[in-house]
């Protein structure tokens, strides 16, 4: 930017000198006018380039500062969230662990030990424990906003089957409850279908029965979460049922709205 300004100044000096030298030839006016026009063009260009350089630098500095503020704010929020101890809602989190502890290590060793009573083959149980050891994240889910929540960072790895669309869901519900009127379909009817899909996915992955899959989820104090995107996720009950922060509208709410027009919050 400085080099542009210096160039402009030198050009103006040279033009002035040229004007004086040719004045005796009677062409002073022509040179002066040409020089003034060139100087004007160059001067404006220098100013524009200088302004652009300053504007670019200012934007860059502002953007970097803004990003630092965002990161700082997120980190601050994460620290505050991490200290919260989920409570209530049917007696969740009896261990009184903080959100940071739950998110970092969703399954306490004590709960892993209890799975040994389910009659699952030791080799299969070891595989399950190995998969569960990969669970957890340093990122704490943000509190729900307008019923929207993302718990994917806490989900059981490799278990995310797709849930049916409205038409296929109704067919599955009618298969379970013959004679049921569409307008009488309720949240429990939808959950019966989605839970069955979740149990089957878990059973298929580890070659266990659907009953064992259901008991396994309960022993680990986890719960089936039907996301808005139409996927099944198995997540820690201590977070999912902490309604003070994570009350949400997921697949069940979406389907109830599409089928009957009713608005509900997930349980």
Roughly how many angstroms between the first and final C-alpha of the chain, as a whole number? 62
Contact 52, 44 (CB under 8 A): no
CA distance 73 to 84: 17
114 and 178 co-located in one domain: yes
- The C-alpha atoms of residue 217 and residue 235 are separated, in whole angstroms, by 9
- Boundaries of domain holding 36: 2-82
CA distances from 33 to 17, 21, 30, 38, 42 (A): 14, 15, 5, 9, 14
In a domain, 87, yes or no: no
pLDDT at res. 119: 92
User: Is there a single domain that holds both residue 10 and residue 130?
Assistant: no
Residues 196 and 248 in one domain: yes
Calpha distance 55→254 (Å, rounded) = 47
Total structural domains within the chain: 2
Asked if 251 contacts 226 with a C-beta cutoff of 8 angstroms, the reply is yes
Q: Do residues 127 and 245 share a domain?
A: yes
pLDDT in tens, 151-177: 999 999 999 999 999 999 999 999 989
Same domain, residue pair 109 and 142: yes
Q: How far apart are CA 4 and CA 11, in angstroms?
A: 11
Is 126 in the same domain as 45? no
Phi, psi dihedral angles at 119 (to 5 degrees): 75, 20
Residues 224, 147: one domain? yes
| Digitized pLDDT (tens) for each residue of the chain, 267 residues in all | 545 444 444 444 444 444 444 444 443 443 344 444 344 444 555 455 656 665 656 655 655 564 455 445 545 577 788 899 999 888 899 999 999 999 999 999 999 999 999 999 999 999 999 999 989 899 999 999 888 899 999 999 999 999 999 999 999 999 989 889 999 999 999 999 999 999 999 999 999 999 999 999 999 999 999 998 899 999 999 999 999 999 988 899 999 999 988 777 665
d(CA 246, CA 267): 10
Residue at token pair 């979406």:
254
161 and 111 share a domain?
Answer: yes
Residue 117 included in any domain = yes
28 and 133 in a common domain: no
Q: Is 93 inside any structural domain?
A: no
């Amino acid at each position: 930017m400085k080099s542009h300004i210096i160039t402009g100044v030198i050009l103006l000096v040279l033009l002035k000198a040229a004007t004086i030298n040719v004045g005796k030839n009677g062409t002073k006016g022509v040179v002066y006018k040409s020089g003034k026009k060139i100087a004007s063009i160059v001067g404006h260009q220098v100013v524009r380039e200088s302004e652009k350089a300053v504007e670019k630098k200012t934007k860059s500095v502002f953007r970097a500062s803004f990003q630092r503020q965002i990161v700082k704010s997120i980190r601050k929020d994460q620290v505050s969230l991490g200290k919260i101890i989920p409570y209530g809602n049917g007696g969740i989190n009896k261990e009184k662990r903080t959100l940071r502890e739950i998110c970092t290590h969703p399954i306490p060793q004590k709960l892993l030990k209890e799975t040994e009573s389910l009659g699952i083959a030791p080799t299969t149980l070891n595989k399950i424990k190995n998969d569960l050891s990969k669970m957890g994240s340093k990122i704490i889910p943000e509190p729900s906003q307008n019923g929207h929540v993302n718990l994917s960072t806490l989900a059981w790895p490799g278990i995310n089957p797709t849930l049916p669309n409205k038409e296929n869901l109704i067919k599955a519900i009618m298969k379970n409850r013959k004679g049921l009127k569409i307008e009488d379909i309720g949240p429990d009817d939808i959950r019966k279908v989605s839970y069955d899909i979740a149990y089957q996915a878990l059973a298929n992955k580890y070659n266990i029965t659907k009953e064992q899959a259901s008991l396994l989820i309960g022993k680990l104090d986890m719960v089936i979460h039907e996301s808005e995107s139409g996927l099944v996720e198995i997540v820690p009950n201590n977070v999912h049922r902490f309604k003070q922060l994570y009350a949400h509208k997921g697949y069940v709410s979406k389907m109830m709205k599409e089928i009957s027009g009713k608005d509900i919050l997930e349980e």
